[in-house]
Structure 1
Amino acid sequence: MHLGIDQQSGLVGLDSPALPVVPRPTVTQAKLIKREEDWSDLPTGVSHSPMSWIFREDTFDPVTRTRRGRLFQPEGAQPAQYKVLPDPYEDPHGRTVGAQGRTTKNLYGYKACVSLLQEPHRGLGLKIALGVRDASSAWRIIQTEVVANGCVMITLKSLSAFGIIPAVDMSKVPAEFEPVVSQTVARALDSAFRESPTSVIDQCRNAIAAVLSRWMVDQGRDRSILGEDLMKIATIVGQPPFAKGVASNLAMVVARLHSRGKTNEVHSKSLRVPVDEDAELALHALGFALRDIGWAE
């Protein structure tokens, strides 16, 4: 199975690719993310980056935040001439039809993405970016299969901190603390699923420390707490008069995860190096802290 994208109109065809697809499907450029640097090397549009992979979406579930569709890789020189049936959107009366009822089009041509099948575990668990450099989203490949017509079908799970880290209600944050709180939370949000797990955990650790310490000062705690590390802050916030036990325990977990980003600490204590799931745990901890102290919208 092949896919073609018209160089001029962006209309999509399949199967040689001679058959126009009606209604027009959602197609997105795609790139595997194997290291942080890959985020700066995303495609910039089909006409500028025709050799990128293409994802054709078949279904999207906003509740589970999953997408299912077919993945294609470039085939030969781009673009190339193809004999295709006229697209009913572009030529409803068939005025451009030539021999054998077909017309000539310059298409960006793609074939089933067998390259993904050569990755470890056929790509399961890998991170993939959809979109272009100016606007993209991160997804996890949770299922890969080859269907009867030879297409590579994948199921994707959204990787997004939106919904995990709530928006901060700045009307509840003391004015003097607004810049620090907004900046630290924004950095954690920006790092989510785009930077290394260690970096994400570090940003979450910084944000949780900033949020909890400033909330305690707003509640009457001495300002010296602003200079303490997260473990000390977590201990104090779990005690009376604050008694935020769950937020305290989660903050301690993030503090311990942070130490696992230190090479010597990992070696001396035979610790496991943080992975993406650990970073997601740190993001959830930050979101919980914001909700628990009442600073979330």
Structure 2
Amino acid sequence: MNELGICKRSGRLYEGNSSAGIAINYHVPLMPIELVGVEMQQGRTSTSMIFREDSFDPITKIRRGRVYTEVLGRNDPWHVHDFGRTDLKRVGWDQGEAQELEATSYNADSLTSLRQLSPLPKVILGKSPHHTYWKILSIETQFDGKPLLTLKAMTSFGAVPELMLNQVPEIAQTLIQDALENVEIAANRIGAIETVDACRNALSIVLGTLADNLELELGQGINHRIKKNQANAKNSNANGQDLIIHSAEIVRRLHPRGKSNEKEKHKTRPVSQEDANLALNCLWFVLVELGWARG
């Protein structure tokens, strides 16, 4: 069955097509789905999409199901056979009789736009504020041509800790709040390169605050902390490095990999989602280590 119809009056689900709809008499989880960044990358017009769940394993947090896209501009009524409803008007149809209703129609999506993408995009299920984040494990084409999507929950997606604003120096409170909001937006809605960039910006503010100079770049802030650590160390040969420095340095070194000229110059691989997660964890560690956020 290539179409779904959702009755505009009752919300009841029908399968088949507008000429011959069959009522679904069992619960079928239907959720709004967003393929993060696909419209932007493919130039697609944003349309309403839903995920029809076929199975869910709460232990592995793996969902399998199909994607349907809303059919825009269709005003034709659906003709159905639903013995559970007596409120529907009966009309002559296809040499017989059928019930008529107004429904929002959805077509099975072939997901052809995803086959050209590497890596596959992240997925958001549900509507804000009650939504969850998933990654695509596989896309399998079934015998009827419809792709079956296998998703796995992203438990550490957007790992930004809860900020304890009263522990942050007053001069940096607004800046760090805005920076972390940008980190969340990049991690949840844009992509890996932008996430690393947002983490770098947030760490620049953190290290600049520690140096009492918010104009410092991240590398300058790192150098200032190293010198300060050396000056405060009992051992005159101390190198001034600590875990905050190492964490910030990882993000600083990841950042140029998102630039095509730097990638070509140093022959580095593209920034991946795992790299973005590493940057998020480094930012998490620095904020928690400083006591600016809850662990």
TM-score, normalising length from structure 2? 0.72
1:276 to 2:273 alignment: yes
1:231 to 2:219 alignment: yes
Residue 201 of structure 2 aligns with which residue? 206
Percent identity, aligned pairs only?
27
In structure 1, the residue corresponding to 2:10 is in which secondary structure? coil
Residues 146 and 152, structure 1, Cα contact 8 Å, conserved in 2: yes
Residues 209 and 230, structure 1, Cα contact 8 Å, conserved in 2: yes
1:168 CA displacement? 0.4
Residue 174 of structure 1 aligns with which residue? 169
Q: Distance in 2 between matches of 1:294 and 1:40?
A: 44
Residue 139 of structure 2 aligns with which residue? 144
Q: Distance in 1 between matches of 2:190 and 2:219?
A: 24
1:59 CA displacement? 5.1
**Structure 1 residues 172, 10: CA separation in 2 closer, same or farther (over 3 Å shift)?**
same
1:70 to 2:66 alignment: yes
* Partner AA of 2:6 in structure 1: I
Residues 14 and 21, structure 1, Cα contact 8 Å, conserved in 2: no
* Partner AA of 1:228 in structure 2: L
In structure 2, the residue corresponding to 1:154 is in which secondary structure? strand
Residues 55 and 69, structure 1, Cα contact 8 Å, conserved in 2: yes
1:152-167 paired onto structure 2 within 5 Å: 152-158=147-153, 164-167=159-162
Residue 260 of structure 1 aligns with which residue? 257
1:141 CA displacement? 1.8
TM-score, normalising length from structure 1? 0.72
1:70 CA displacement? 2.0
**Structure 1 residues 35, 146: CA separation in 2 closer, same or farther (over 3 Å shift)?**
closer
1:146 CA displacement? 4.3
Q: Bigger shift: 165-174 or 6-15?
A: 6-15
Q: Distance in 1 between matches of 2:267 and 2:39?
A: 24
* Partner AA of 2:10 in structure 1: S
- Measured against aligned partners, the alpha-carbon deviations of 1:242-271 in whole angstroms (never above 9, x if no partner) come to 977333222111101112233433333223
Residue 6 of structure 1 aligns with which residue? 7
Q: Distance in 1 between matches of 2:222 and 2:29?
A: 50
* Residues paired across the two proteins, number: 277
Residue 246 of structure 2 aligns with which residue? 249
**Structure 1 residues 160, 233: CA separation in 2 closer, same or farther (over 3 Å shift)?**
farther
Q: Distance in 2 between matches of 1:171 and 1:103?
A: 63
Q: Bigger shift: 282-291 or 30-39?
A: 30-39
Which structure has the larger Rg over C-alpha atoms?
2
Q: Distance in 1 between matches of 2:97 and 2:82?
A: 8
Q: Distance in 2 between matches of 1:58 and 1:124?
A: 24
Q: Distance in 2 between matches of 1:145 and 1:77?
A: 30
Q: Distance in 1 between matches of 2:153 and 2:190?
A: 16
* Partner AA of 1:172 in structure 2: Q
1:165 CA displacement? 0.6
Residues 80 and 100, structure 2, Cα contact 8 Å, conserved in 1: yes
Q: Bigger shift: 178-187 or 154-163?
A: 154-163
What is the aligned-residue RMSD (CA, Å)? 4.0
Residues 116 and 123, structure 1, Cα contact 8 Å, conserved in 2: no
Residues 140 and 156, structure 1, Cα contact 8 Å, conserved in 2: yes
Gaps of 5+ in 1: 44-51
Q: Distance in 2 between matches of 1:283 and 1:260?
A: 16
Residues 161 and 189, structure 1, Cα contact 8 Å, conserved in 2: no
Residues 26 and 56, structure 1, Cα contact 8 Å, conserved in 2: yes
Q: Distance in 2 between matches of 1:3 and 1:73?
A: 10
Q: Distance in 1 between matches of 2:159 and 2:44?
A: 25
Residue 112 of structure 1 aligns with which residue? 108
Gaps of 5+ in 2: 234-239
Residue 296 of structure 1 aligns with which residue? 293
**Structure 1 residues 162, 54: CA separation in 2 closer, same or farther (over 3 Å shift)?**
closer
1:48-87 paired onto structure 2 within 5 Å: 52-58=48-54, 66-73=62-69, 78-86=74-82
1:68 CA displacement? 3.2
Q: Distance in 1 between matches of 2:36 and 2:203?
A: 31
